[in-house]
Structure 1
Amino acid sequence: MKIIQSDPPNNDICTERLTLRQPEKSHFVALQNIWADTKLLQFIGPPSTPEEVWARLLKYIGHWSTFGFGYWMVHETKTDHFLGEVGVAWQQRTTLPAHGDLPEAGWIFSPAAQGQGFASEALSAVLEYSGSRINSPGITCLIDPSNKASILLAERKGFKKFGTTLIGTNRINAYLRLI
């Protein structure tokens, strides 16, 4: 994967097919659609209320402001259609075994965007961008053991399972990728 362009003033990333943009207020409706889709969230948790989505968006914006990296909103470059989100953030989870002090990668893509390699392309770009900007020896991610597609994506990007943790009552696999 090759980043075609990285725009330092606003940290947008362009790949062959995607434009990854920093989150902004205009992404609220698109995020509401993603975080309300019960089928899409089957491995993540219950749907989010508009208030919870608003708090998530403000968290994303604040993370960029504080740390200079975070979650991007992923758009198909050709159509400007919103596809999902991908990023790396300091989640400050207290339940992660051994590596809870490391940043955590995450991604979610609309059903229409799945199966086309968009998540792989976006995650590659984010890992390339983040690797040189995050002062950390590695990045973690958490994946439900039933989410085979995300497990395969994480493993293809160099994440290795190092344990499990509980989020609520759900046992989740914890993965680590060294930078």
Structure 2
Amino acid sequence: MTLAPTIETPRLELRGHLPSDLPDSIRMWQSPETIRFIGGRPLTEEEVWLRLLRYWGGWAMLGYGFWRIVERATGRFVGEIGFHELHRDSQPSFAGEPETGWALMAEFHGRGFAREALDAVLAWGDAHIEAGRTVCIIHPANAASLKLARAVGYADLGDLAYKGGTMVLLGRDRP
């Protein structure tokens, strides 16, 4: 069972996670390409399972969360994308603002899938999330994600101190 609505784009299906999706998510969150800018270390099975529970909990508690991205033509797992509210211990704080995030399997990088999925998710968020803006945090060396965030309307809000490092905080006002 999933609380997440299904979104279809020309090439992708975004749907809620199921327990059977755990192996794909483990594979992604243990991939060096995925973790390079997100945490820097492979996640354990337990940590990935807790991530999936967090996704489900977001939908139940907040009315928004993360989707599993699937390539429609092949049924292959592409990645994960969505919104969450993690009450991060960061300076400055952005608690209370929905945070957008995404991660794709390396074999799908550079093919426009992230943009296609992000456009669909932001359109859904604009229609269903009442917050005045959404934010995202991106590692300063992650040029591809910074370029994508700026291309869909996220503007730099400055540096963010988080877990002993510096991230870029970006915000996008609701149209």
Contact kept? 1:84, 1:108, Cα under 8 Å:
yes
Q: Is 1:113–2:87 an aligned residue pair?
A: no
Matching residue of 1:86: 81
Larger helix share, 1 or 2: 2
Q: How far apart, CA to CA, are the structure 1 residues paired with 2:173 and 2:62?
A: 20
Residue number in structure 1 paired with 2:21: 27
- Name the SS for the 1:73 alignment partner: strand
1: distance between equivalents of 2:118 and 2:37? Answer: 18
2:157 corresponds to: 162
- The question of whether the paired residues in 2 share the 8 Å contact of 1:24 and 1:61 is answered with no
1: distance between equivalents of 2:91 and 2:72? 36
Task: Mark the runs of 5 or more structure 1 residues left unpaired by the alignment.
Answer: 1-8
Name the amino acid aligned to 2:158. Answer: G
The separation in 2 between residues aligned to 1:74 and 1:160, in whole angstroms, is 25
CA distance in 2, matches of 1:61, 1:25: 10
1:22 and 1:73 in contact (8 A); partners too? yes
1:43 aligns with 2:53: no
Q: Distance in 2 between matches of 1:98 and 1:54?
A: 27
Q: What residue identity is the alignment partner of 1:36?
A: Q
What CA deviation, in whole Å up to 9, does each residue of 1:38-76 have, x standing for no partner? Answer: 232111111110000000001101111222221000000
Q: Given the two structures, how large is their TM-score scaled by the length of structure 2?
A: 0.93
Question: Residue 26 of structure 1 aligns to which amino acid in structure 2?
Answer: S
Q: Who is 1:3 aligned against? A: none
Asked whether the 8 Å contact 2:89–2:162 carries over to 1, the reply is: no
Q: Once the two structures are aligned, what percentage of the paired residues are identical?
A: 35
What amino acid does structure 1 have at the position aligned with 2:11? R
Aligned residue-pair number:
171
CA RMSD after TM alignment: 1.3
Show structure 2 runs of 5+ residues with no match: none
Q: Is the 8 A contact 2:70 2:79 kept in 1?
A: yes
Letter of the structure 2 residue corresponding to residue 44 of structure 1? I
Paired residues of 1:144 and 1:171 also in contact (CA < 8 A): yes
